Each structure stands twice: as C-alpha cells, then as structure tokens.
C-alpha cells in the first residue's frame, strides 16, 4: 500500500481496479484550523487512457498496482497498430490504434522503450526522453540565419512536424524531446 506521502510523478497506483500513472501531485495546506492537508493528484488510467483528477486527504492509503516495467523494443507498425517485444522474455504485445497514435510519431523500428505490464498485458509504453530522427522535408536553409530567433517547420521521417532553426536542411538528423515534441539539437 502507498500513503499519500509516497505520491510522486511517475508512480503507478491502483484506483477503481485499474493501474493509474500519477502525472502531477499538489499538496494543499489547510486554511482553517483543524482542517486536513489535501493532496490533489492528476493521473492517467492506463486501461482507458483517461486523464483524471482526484483529491485525497493526507495520510489516505491506496493499493499498489500489479504493474511491472520491462525493457522493450518497437518492432513494426501493422496498419494503425504497433507491435512491441519484451526484451526480457521475448513476448510480443500489440498496441491498439488509439494509444499507438500518440507514440508512433517518435518510433522507428528497433527503438528501445519501457513497456508497462499489468496482469500479463501491455497497458503503457514509456518513450525515451529524446529520439533522433531525420529531417525529410523542410524549406531551404537561409544564409546567415544563425543569429535570428526564427524557426521553420520540418517534417521528420516518422511524419512528425517540429519547428527547427532556419539553418537546418533535409537529410540532417535532429534530436527531439518526446515530452513536448520540441527540437533540441542536431544529432
């Protein structure tokens, strides 16, 4: 069991018979004398992918989910679904279209990920913090553009669109932050 004092971003708890990934925790101090401290959480139900909020009293207890993280690898896209493999036991898992649509712009065949397994089935894929992708389409590079703060749109090999500096050209590899879909640097 976890107490509300154990809550932190990234912790998986069990609420309503489903594993839930905590996305944000806010502790609200009492304003009235004798009132309890409240712990507000924002979490994602890993079965339904819904993002929900719930407030707990300080000291409340919740169950630990039967949730495991395993090293995994993206194998291939099969139409609008994705196939992943657990690198520990070589078991393969299929990700449904709705969930795969969120992670597919960052995945190339062979990309290593972390698979979230709940009761023997994959319910979550954690992407690496950054991925390296090749620019396939972008307007031509501008000369002497290194001193400007302007950006231009680039389409990467997975179809992902990001804003990049104007000096980048098609064919260059770039690093992209998977959390906010932001250009970081040349690879």
pLDDT at 147: 55
**pLDDT score recorded for residue 148:** 59
Is the pTM higher than 0.85? no
Measured CA to CA, the distance from residue 157 to residue 111 in angstroms comes to 14
- Please give the domain boundaries of the chain with CATH numbers for all domains: 2-64 (2.30.30.30), 67-126 (2.40.50.140), 130-186 (2.40.50.140)
pLDDT of residue 145: 57
What is the pLDDT at residue 154? 93
What is the pLDDT, as a whole number, of residue 29? 83
Instruction: Give the chain's residues under pLDDT 50.
Output: none
What whole-number distance in Å separates Cα of residue 17 and Cα of residue 33? 35
Identify the pLDDT of residue 132. Answer: 94
Q: Give me the pLDDT at residue 28, please.
A: 87
Alpha-carbon dihedral angle through residues 60, 61, 62, 66, given to the nearest 10 degrees: 160
- The pLDDT tens digits for 125-174 are 999 999 999 999 998 876 665 555 788 899 999 999 999 988 888 999 99
Per the listing, tokens 């300080």 go with 58
């Amino acid at each position: 069991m976890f107490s509300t004092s154990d809550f932190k971003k990234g912790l998986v708890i069990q609420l309503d018979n489903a594993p839930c990934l905590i996305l944000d925790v806010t502790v609200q101090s009492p304003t009235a004398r004798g009132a309890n401290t409240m712990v507000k959480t924002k979490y994602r139900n890993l079965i339904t992918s819904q993002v929900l909020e719930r407030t707990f009293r300080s000291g409340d207890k919740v169950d630990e989910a039967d949730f495991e993280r395993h090293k995994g690898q993206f194998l291939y896209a099969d139409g609008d679904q994705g196939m992943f493999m657990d690198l520990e036991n070589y078991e393969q898992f299929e990700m449904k279209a709705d969930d795969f649509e969120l992670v597919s712009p960052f995945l190339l065949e062979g990309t290593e990920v972390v698979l979230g397994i709940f009761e023997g089935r994959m319910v979550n894929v954690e992407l690496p913090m950054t991925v390296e992708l090749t620019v396939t389409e972008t307007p031509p590079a501008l000369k002497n553009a290194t001193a400007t703060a302007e950006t231009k749109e680039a389409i990467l090999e997975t179809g992902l669109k990001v804003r990049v500096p104007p000096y980048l050209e098609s064919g260059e590899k770039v690093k992209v932050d998977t959390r906010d879909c932001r250009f970081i640097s040349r690879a």
